[in-house]
Amino acid sequence: MENLKSTDREMENIFKMENLKSNDAEVYDILQKELKRQQDNIELIASENLSSKSILEAQGSVFTNKYAEGYPGKRYYGGCQFADEIESLAIQRAKKTFNAKFANVQPHAGTQANFSVFFALLSPGDTILGLNLSQGGHLTHGSPVSVCGKWFNAISYNVDENGFVKYDEIEKLAKEHKPKLIISGGSAYSRIWNWQKINDIAKSVGAYHLSDIAHYAGLIAADLYPSPLEYADVVTATTHKTLAGGRGGFVLTNNEEIIKKINSAVFPGTQGGPLMHSIAAKAVTFGQTLKPEFKIYQKQVLSNAKKLSEVLSQNGIKIITGGTDSHMFLADLRPLNVKGNTAQEILEAAGITLNKNSIPYDTQKPSVTSGIRIGSPAVTARGMKENEMAQIAQSIIKVLKDIDNRKNVSDVKIEMSKLCGAFPIY
């Protein structure tokens, strides 16, 4: 025991307000490497974006120290006056951004937002109907590997051979299986959802309608993509995708009965203490969405995605659905005879980060795939526009049309690093 006894001086060493660099060089170095990776590479992962410095500041703030189980004005801990203030501000800004009557900003991420809806509205064994994971749905829409696929009777609807949602199939499956919940929205669907149609189907069979706008939230906040708020009982989303915020999830609804159930389902139903530092970052995020510049940014996100898809398409890559109405799209690489996993790997070596993705009716395993998913939010956040998109698309073509050509890869890597240098971040 003797040698465990600490002196005041040693205690001070741990909690001394030292910076990371001098305190933990090992972690600091990894963070520096990640910063450089983000600075020097073209980021085309459709679910990623860049957080502003203000958001990083809020996310890395002293609110990380605070326990605040409960809700503003009804906490289970003392010292919550400023936690109340920041959460109320985040809620107020979220409601204003989406023109919603009610919001819960506590879900740690999109998955937790969806689980709170399941916990609020369903019982184990109930039937849910969502878009098939392999066709653009999310794990939480009923995939057999997710808890929601194991604890609910999950039925999937599909897209057609061109990649468009088949509303007649949703209607047929809804009539046949009488789900308690129908989920709209997805992770790899580039077109506009007909929220009203899905709501009509849900109402005709007595089901709830959950619209998951994790991917489209930023576009919706900027009025550049239809809002599901008046056509869904409940809406879930993330702050870190097109919304360009810190990592997190949130729930919106116009229905007072439902928000009461959601609030209990988030806490104490499925979460403990809220991440107050993330909620502070969410407040900054929703503050950002309310500024006029945010709309200009989102317009450019749309134009950039369009430009990328056009140039790829002109050069022999097949775009699923033939184009995009959003920040992203799926590209079918079969015309180039390249698999998704190979493309992801070789493009990463060339300084372009994106992900392999199954295309509708893919015959390749999910670990291989015939396609890639491409998104414009992060490159647009750096300030890049149509000309840069054309250059990036041409570079993708150059690498994928001749995948054994190592020189192409190293040439493109240098070009992409130069391009990033012209649009510096952080």
Where in the sequence numbering do the catalytic residues fall?
67, 69, 212, 238, 241, 247
- Which of 70, 142, 179, 185 touches ligand PLP (CB under 6 A)? 185
User: Which residues does 415 contact at the CB level (< 8 Å), separation at least 6?
Assistant: 351, 391, 395
Nearer to ligand PLP, 66 or 241 (CB): 241
Name the pairing type of β-strands 153-157 and 181-184.
Answer: unpaired
User: Would you list the DSSP string of 204-217?
Assistant: HTT-EEEEE-TTTH
Site membership for ligand PLP, residue 339 (CB under 6 A): no
Q: Smaller CB distance to ligand PLP: residue 140 or 300?
A: 140
Shortest CB 395 distance to ligand PLP, Å = 27
Closest separation between CB of residue 116 and ligand PLP, Å?
12
- Least spacing, CB of residue 111 vs ligand PLP, in Å: 3
Q: Which of 156, 187, 242, 289 binds ligand PLP (CB under 6 A)?
A: 187
**Placement of tokens 């040698």 in the chain:** 3
H or E segment and range at residue 43: strand 42-43
Region from 209-217, 218-226, 378-386, 393-401 binding ligand PLP, contact rule CB under 6 A: 209-217
Residue 186 interacts with ligand PLP (CB under 6 A)? yes
Tell me if 355 contacts ligand PLP by CB under 6 A. no
* Near ligand PLP in 82-121, by CB under 6 A: 109-111, 114
Tell me: does residue 47 bind ligand PLP (CB under 6 A). Answer: yes
127 binds ligand PLP (CB under 6 A): no
Alpha helix segments (H runs only) across 70-204: 81-98, 110-121, 147-151, 167-177, 195-204
Question: Strand 355-357 relative to strand 70-71: parallel, antiparallel, unpaired?
Answer: unpaired
- Is 215 a residue that touches ligand PLP (CB under 6 A)? yes
Q: 114 or 134, CB closer to ligand PLP?
A: 114
The 10 Å Cβ neighbour count of residue 168 is 12
142 binds ligand PLP (CB under 6 A): no
Task: Give the length of the chain.
Answer: 426
- For residues 330 and 187, is the Cβ–Cβ distance under 8 A? no
Strands (E), 234-380: 234-238, 249-253, 318-319, 328-332, 352-353, 355-357, 371-375
Distance CA 199, CA 267 (A): 27
Closest to ligand PLP by CB, 338 vs 381, is: 381
Half-sphere exposure of 250 (CA within 13 A, CB side): 33
Residue 11 phi, psi (nearest 5): -55, -45
Chain center to CA of 264: 24
Binding flag, residue 191, ligand PLP (CB under 6 A)? no
Could you identify the residue written with the tokens 């992801």?
344
CB closer to ligand PLP, 141 vs 413:
141
For the chain, the maximum distance between any two Cα atoms, rounded to a whole number of angstroms, is 75
Question: Does the footprint of ligand PLP cover residue 50 (CB under 6 A)?
Answer: no
User: Shortest distance, CB of residue 186 to ligand PLP, whole angstroms?
Assistant: 5
What sign does the dihedral 356-331-187-38 (CA atoms) show? positive
Stretch that binds ligand PLP, among 147-155, 184-192, 223-231, 373-381 (CB under 6 A): 184-192
**List 49, 51, 104, 140, residue binding ligand PLP (CB under 6 A):** 140
Question: What's the closest the beta carbon of residue 280 comes to ligand PLP, in angstroms?
Answer: 18
CB of residue 185 to ligand PLP, shortest distance in Å: 5
Q: Which is nearer to ligand PLP, 320 or 403 (CB)?
A: 320
Cα 244 → chain centroid: 9
Does 238 help bind ligand PLP (rule: CB under 6 A)? yes
Which residue's CB is nearer to ligand PLP, number 238 or number 341? Answer: 238
One of 66, 75, 93, 138 touching ligand PLP (CB under 6 A): 138
User: Which helix (DSSP H) or strand (DSSP E) does residue 366 occupy?
Assistant: none
Q: Which stretch binds ligand PLP (CB under 6 A): 61-69, 96-104, 179-187, 282-290?
A: 179-187
Residues in contact with ligand PLP, counted by CB under 6 A, come to a total of 15
What's the angle, vertex CA 337, arms to CA 335 and CA 338, rounded to 5? 115
Instruction: Pick the closer one to ligand PLP by CB: 187 or 300.
Output: 187
Residue 156 backbone zone (phi > 0: left; psi -120 to 50: alpha; other: beta): beta
- Applying CB under 6 A, among 50, 55, 214, 416 the residue interacting with ligand PLP is 214
Q: Is 35 in a helix, a strand, or coil? A: helix
Pairing verdict, β 352-353 and 42-43? parallel
Q: Is 275 an interacting residue with respect to ligand PLP (CB under 6 A)?
A: no
Cis bond before residue 268 (omega within 30° of 0): yes
Write out the residues near ligand PLP by the rule CB under 6 A: 47, 109-111, 114, 138, 140, 185-187, 212, 214-215, 238, 249
